[in-house]
Amino acid sequence: MLIHVPPDVRVLAMDVHKNTISIGLLEPRSESPLMDKCSTDDESVRRLLARFAEPARVWACYEAGPTGYELARMLRNAGMRCEVIAPSLIPTRPGDRVKTDKRDARRLALLFRAGQLSAVRVPTVAEEAARDLCRARADMVIDRTRARHRLGKFLLRHGRVWRGGDNWTLKHQAWIRQQRFDERALNETLAHYQATLSARDAAVEAIEADLLPWCARAPFTDPVHRMAAYRGVTELGALTLASEVFDWRRFPTAGMFMGFTGLVPSESSSGEHTSRGGITHAGNTHLRTQLVEAAWAYKSKAQVGATLKKRQDGLDPAVVARAWTAQLRLCGKFRRLDARKTNRKVVVTAIARELAGFVWAEMTAN
């Protein structure tokens, strides 16, 4: 949503980096920002704030980035309004090939005053802490997947092929443990790969044990239980969705939320020519990954198994009914698309996009 800045306030635009902040200060009736620069340490920021006798009459902004939200919290605690701008939605001029910190701060100030910038929501400290723990789990799952791939490729290089069904089942892991080679170096290599995988498994189990209590803590209890009623969305998956979005009503429509996940098709159309490509991959990667992972659960026929029934016990019957409606539609759509498409990843992406719509509708109901 675009931010509309009152004409009688001062605009403080900042291009924030690890060690420096480039500043553009735009006075109410001025067309050219005054430029300055300061350090990012707390004392320098406090000296910057001391320059404004009425912080409430100053609107500040900076781009979301690796420096996080601490600067925004500090400015807000001082009584100044501060918006964190979505970088991907900042207008750019095609012919502009010069980029410096000073020019970025000046452009940010002018665009902010013109009402052409969109802000991201600044989470609370507790929300950000839970979100970071969820993201740490995702990183560890990726590390475990890489360890599995390395072990599997090693065995494949030496003619050891598993043909007993899906990979990484209990039977598959027992088969791996039985593998032996004539060469001592190969046995040692296998042992190192297995030890690395065991360490990755232990790390994932440990962080999941730390995450589970958060599913029953405010403000995540209600959204986690409601989203976990949907097939494919585990409690930890629901916690990831809740911690990444939290305020679902900032998306007025399901389409806007789908766009935020990056699951909508890209398009390049002009005149009578319409061209659609792959998904945009814009927006929140963690949301998109979680929804795609959940979408695979809809490849089988619609049913409520013991695990899903346990997650649905005690919930409002309306929530359970909406989850069943979603399951009927998505399972049917998965089968129809799977019969027509040669690439199953395309099917899963389409299901994930529609699942995003159902989840948004659930979290904005009532």
Kindly report the CATH number assigned to the domain that includes residue 96: 3.30.420
Domain contains 3: no
Question: Do 97 and 135 sit in the same domain of this protein?
Answer: no
Mark which of 120, 153, 177 sits at the end of a domain.
120
Contact 295, 356 (CB under 8 A): no
CA distances from 122 to 16, 73, 79, 87, 226 (A): 16, 8, 16, 14, 24
Domain contains 297: yes
Residue 99 has what pLDDT? 85
Question: Do 39 and 149 sit in the same domain of this protein?
Answer: no
Domain contains 242: yes
Question: Do 173 and 301 sit in the same domain of this protein?
Answer: no
Domain contains 203: yes
Name the domain count of the chain.
Answer: 3
Domain contains 284: yes
Question: Do 98 and 30 sit in the same domain of this protein?
Answer: yes
Question: Do 96 and 46 sit in the same domain of this protein?
Answer: yes
pLDDT digits (tens, 9 = 90+) for 98-152: 889 999 999 999 999 999 998 888 988 989 999 999 999 999 999 999 999 999 9
Domain contains 2: no
Question: Do 240 and 338 sit in the same domain of this protein?
Answer: yes
Question: Do 178 and 116 sit in the same domain of this protein?
Answer: no
Mark which of 193, 214, 235 sits at the end of a domain.
214
Contact 159, 186 (CB under 8 A): no
Question: Do 224 and 327 sit in the same domain of this protein?
Answer: yes
- pLDDT > 70? residue 45: yes
Per-chain mean pLDDT for the chain = 92
| Rounded Cα–Cα distance for residues 46 and 42 (Å) | 6
| Rounded Cα–Cα distance for residues 85 and 89 (Å) | 8
Question: Do 149 and 69 sit in the same domain of this protein?
Answer: no
Q: pTM for the full model?
A: 0.85
> Which residue in the block uniquely carries the two structure tokens 């675009």?
2
**3-class SS at 303?**
coil
Domain contains 166: yes
Identify the domain containing residue 139 by its residue range: 125-214
Strands (E), 76-173: 81-85, 119-120
Domain contains 4: no
Asked whether the bond before 317 is cis by omega within 30 degrees of 0, the reply is: no
- pLDDT > 90? residue 34: yes
Residue 62 has what pLDDT? 96
pLDDT digits (tens, 9 = 90+) for 189-215: 999 999 999 999 999 999 999 999 999
Mark which of 70, 94, 120 sits at the end of a domain.
120
267 pLDDT tier (thresholds 50, 70, 90): low
Question: Do 195 and 331 sit in the same domain of this protein?
Answer: no
- pLDDT > 70? residue 275: no
- Cβ neighbours for 73, distance < 8 A, ≥ 6 positions apart: 122, 125
Question: Do 239 and 324 sit in the same domain of this protein?
Answer: yes
Question: Do 160 and 42 sit in the same domain of this protein?
Answer: no
Q: What is the mean pLDDT of residues 233-246?
A: 94
